[in-house]
Structure 1
Amino acid sequence: MENTAVSSYRTIIMPKLDYKLPVALVVLLLATLAGFVHSRARRLVAPPRNITHQTPADFGIASWEDVTFKTADGLLLSGWYIPPKAHGGAALIFVHGLGSNRAALLDQAAMLAEQGYGALLFDLRAHGRSEGEKSSWGITELADVEAALAFLQSQPEVDADNIGIVGHSMGGAIAIRAAAQLPDIQLVVAESVYTNFSNNAERLTVSFARLPDWTAPLVIQWAEWIAGVNSDQLAPLHAVASLSSRPILFIQGGRDKTVHVSNGSTLYETAVPPKERLLIPNADHTTLFETNPELMTRRLRRFMAQNLLP
């Protein structure tokens, strides 16, 4: 017969283990993580609509209109059209970044409109007042730029052979890739642009989706699946050398924590002449013009005057 003391001892030091609680906790944690990753991935693919209440009139532009135009895949895009001052004048397409809207570059468009340039500022698909359910970070958005170019070329007061493009962040990457495919785009201004989306995805994701660093790779992979794209495709570095003799101006903020300043250096080195680079030392990712409007105005007007007469 087993000794009672030994039996009691075994009961004390070898209790029956209940695995249900730890397993439930693990399942709960995994479900919470999956929900978090999915919500942040959705934010990258379908960012919250940022509707502007500004208009060109707020920047002293007297002649402008609300316009809409359709992409080749049937989406209705919404924007503002500022006609050039002279009949047969030059015009510029302005392309905003992820989660932004048509007003992002309105200060620059207004400044250049004073010099006589026309402008088309529009909301990319899935942004602002434009149609579309999701962003592809620059792949399907090429159709948006193509539609914007066709809109400007159809305006009787615009010189169809005298059109340039200005883009910020994702919009700058789109501008470079669009110009590489659309020879009718005569010049490019690329602001705060990354060399390759996949190489900068962690910084971009942490900045835009407000993530802990360690979750970024999970969110990026999930977002790629939702968007149906491969971020390796989003490489303006591959396209920038294809601009041939068309001039390009790279502008970067010295305190940009979203896209490291080295990206601008690499893009500039890869581009073929004519090319220029402007560094705004105290500017971050989105405050280039705001930080030094005098320098930005001087360089942009000079670049345009040399390469795209109004």
Structure 2
Amino acid sequence: MEVTLSPKKRKKVSKKKVLLIIVSVIALLTLIMFSAIPPLVMKDMINLHVDFEVYAAEDYGVKADPLTLETEDHFSIAAWKVEQEQEQPKGIVILLSGIHNPSVTAFFGYSKMLEENGYDSLLIELRSHGASEGDKIYLGTTEYLDVEAGVEYIKSQEKYKDTPIIVWGTSMGGTTAINAIGEIPEIDGLISFSAFSSGTDVFIDNMINMGAPSWFAKIERPFVWMYLGLEFGFDKMKINPVNEIQKLNDRPALLLHSTEDSQVPYASFERIKEKAPDTTETFVREGDYHFIFDEENFDNPTKDTEVSTVIIDFLQKNFK
């Protein structure tokens, strides 16, 4: 039997359909907007090869031997080794830099400080930076393989047969250092400066720091995670400092951050610290010190006695 609606009822049904269409369009546009933000902000930050100034070791008072490392996933990675004068070093420290600058060669001043205290160093230019191959930055989710190549090189050298290996990174290098010690059991210790707890976290934290409402940032979080998962591979998203710091076991670690860090907000440090073993040492500096050392002492960190003492004391206590 055919049912005929009255004009009044047909009008009500028509209004409901229109309302449903409007709501659906708004929902779709909202979804598109939230999905578009991560690639708009991050695409040009991660899909590139970074070229920057490379510094000369002799300007920092050290001698460096250039090396080329080969990673498990077939990237050629530039590196430099600095050796102290003693026949057997107390340890060898792998140094790592950040997402866009500077070159790891800017850390030859760190090598000088380490050399003076009996430690060799291996400076690794992470993939997609400088003379290292690559055209994408993986925010530490894959760069730990560059550290693994460095560890394999060290282990292949008779000189370092029984030498402790410590990884020390700054910013994204700090994130990579934490991921590396979690994934590579041959690493004996960790020093991390201003690491972010994950790519998603640092994106959201900076949104809030720039004035975005917290509710907006919370809604955006899964879209950031989805975008990074599509860029890096969803299997890599579990490789982040919050997860990897839990794999330290009894290996010594030192985490450093500044309270007003304008590049990697302090919230990342709090997340990592919360998951770190109780034996993990920490140092917090008041103010905005992304590189932890005073900017004026970056080239000669021993002049910043507050921080350099913390670093050397940590090394001497754990790796004599």
Tell me the TM-score normalized by structure 2. Answer: 0.74
> Aligned with 1:134: secondary structure?
coil
Question: In structure 2, how many angstroms separate the alpha carbons of the residues matched to 1:205 and 1:136?
Answer: 20
Preserved CA contact (<8 Å) 1:88 1:159: no
Check conservation: 1:138, 1:174, Cα contact below 8 A: yes
Question: Mapping of 1:217-228 within 5 angstroms?
Answer: 222=227, 224-228=229-233
* Compared CA separation, residues 236 and 290, structure 1 to 2 (3 A): same
Alpha-carbon spacing, 1:198–1:232, altered in 2? closer, same or farther (3 Å): farther
1:260 counterpart = 2:265: yes
Match of 1:143 among 135, 139, 145: 145
Q: CA deviation at 1:232?
A: 4.3
> C-alpha displacement at 1:246, in angstroms?
0.5
Alignment partner of 2:116 out of 106, 114, 117: 114
Structure 2: distance between partners of 1:224 and 1:270: 23
Amino acid at match of 1:157: K
| 8 Å contact kept, 1:268–1:276 | no
Q: CA deviation at 1:57?
A: 1.5
Alignment of 1:120-139 (within 5 A): 120-139=122-141
Equivalent residue letter for 2:290? H
Q: What CA distance in whole angstroms lies between the structure 1 residues aligned with 2:83 and 2:157?
A: 9
Structure 1, unpaired ranges of 5+: 1-33
Assess if the C-alpha contact under 8 Å between 1:135 and 1:227 holds in 2: no
Alignment of 1:231-250 (within 5 A): 232-250=237-255
Aligned residues: 276
Write the distance in 1 (CA, Å) between the matches of 2:80 and 2:46.
Answer: 24
Q: Which moved more, 1:288-297 or 1:95-104?
A: 288-297
Instruction: Provide the C-alpha distance between the structure 2 equivalents of 1:220 and 1:57, rounded to a whole number of angstroms.
Output: 43
Query: 1:128-174 CA deviation, whole Å, 9 max, x = no partner?
Result: 11001212212221211100111122233334441110011221121
- Structure-1 residue corresponding to 2:70: 70
After the TM superposition, which residues 52-201 of structure 1 pair with which residues of structure 2 at under 5 Å, given as runs? 52-61=53-62, 63-89=63-89, 90-100=91-101, 101-201=103-203
- Tell me the secondary structure at the aligned position of residue 288 of structure 1: coil
* Structure 2 spans left out of the alignment, 5+ residues: 1-34, 298-303
Cα offset, 1:38, TM superposition: 5.3
Q: Residue 124 of structure 2 contacts residue 147 of structure 2 at CA under 8 Å; is this kept in 1? A: no
- The Cα shift of 1:189 comes to 0.5
Q: What is the match of residue 274 of structure 1?
A: 279
CA gap 1:88/1:103 in 2 versus in 1, 3 angstroms: same
What do the CA deviations read for 1:53-96 (whole angstroms, capped 9, x no partner)?
312211111x3211111111111101211124322321011121
How much has 1:273 moved relative to structure 2? 3.8
Provide Cα deviations, 1:271-299, integer angstroms capped at 9, x if missing partner.
Answer: 11432111121333235353672111111
Normalising to structure 1: TM-score of the pair? 0.77
